[in-house]
Structure 1
């Protein structure tokens, strides 16, 4: 029972981290729009919000209702992946600075960021999202949530990355 409570605290902390991201994103969105930024690919955004909220809810519901056990050999490794994913996400946010957003917004004349994790991957934030989507549920063996989120997230990221690449291509071509 202690592990379930600690896992609930972990998921709550990840939820608080998401709220912090939304505060940063809202500030950056206002600044970007004030500088002439334009949002692209906004049609998938509500689905993304529902999916990411569903990840957190699914983690808790599956662990509490299906009585999923904490398996130390899996749980501790997955916790390390969750922490690494958060570090990568905040590295992305720090590197992009005011250009980072949960939405796709391109500001005319802004330099394209190619430093930090962006010198290693085209879309490092999505690497963090994928890693977290697998690892967070598996910290406490919520494998159904991990599978469902991963499949739905793959479909969403296909749309999202296409929209983002298109917006970046138009802005920097």
Structure 2
């Protein structure tokens, strides 16, 4: 039972982190719109919200219903991956600063950011999402949730990355940030 309680706390903390992201995102959206920001791909956004909420709820429900016996070493490996994915996510958020958003909002005239993790990856935030989507449920062996989220997220990311790349292609040559 203690590991289920600890898992519940972990998922709740990730949920709180998501709420913090939404606060930052709302502030940054206002910043972008005040500078002429243009939103793209709003149609997929509600699905993304439902999918990410479903990850948290699904992981908890599956863990509490199935109540698997989880080897400590395995749980800790996945906890470390969850923490690393959160670190990468917040590195992306701090690197993009006011330009980071959960929505696709482009401020015309601002070059794409190519510093921080964007120096090596075009979409590092989605690497964090993919790792977390697998690792978080597997902390407590909620493998059905991990599998369903991963498959649905793959479809979502195909759309999302296409939308972002099209929006980013309207910007001038990239600059270091």
Per the TM superposition, whether the score is higher than 0.5 is: yes
Q: Is the 8 A contact 1:71 1:141 kept in 2?
A: no
Correspondence for 1:61: 61
Correspondence for 2:7: 7
Aligned positions of 1:131-146 closer than 5 A: 131-146=131-146
Correspondence for 2:168: 168
User: Partners in 1 of 2:157 and 2:59 — Cα distance?
Assistant: 20
Shift of 1:112: 1.4
Superposition RMSD in Å = 0.9
* Deviations 1:115-167, CA, capped at 9 Å, x for gaps: 00000100000000000000000001010000000000000000000000000
Aligned positions of 1:18-167 closer than 5 A: 18-167=18-167
Which stretches of structure 1, 4 residues or longer, exceed 4 Å deviation after superposition? none
Any unmatched runs of 5+ in structure 1?
Answer: none
User: Partners in 1 of 2:141 and 2:55 — Cα distance?
Assistant: 14
Q: Is the 8 A contact 1:71 1:140 kept in 2?
A: no
* Deviations 1:54-91, CA, capped at 9 Å, x for gaps: 00000100000111222223211010000000000000
Shift of 1:36: 0.2
**TM-score (norm: length of structure 1):** 0.98
User: Partners in 1 of 2:69 and 2:165 — Cα distance?
Assistant: 41
**TM-score (norm: length of structure 2):** 0.96
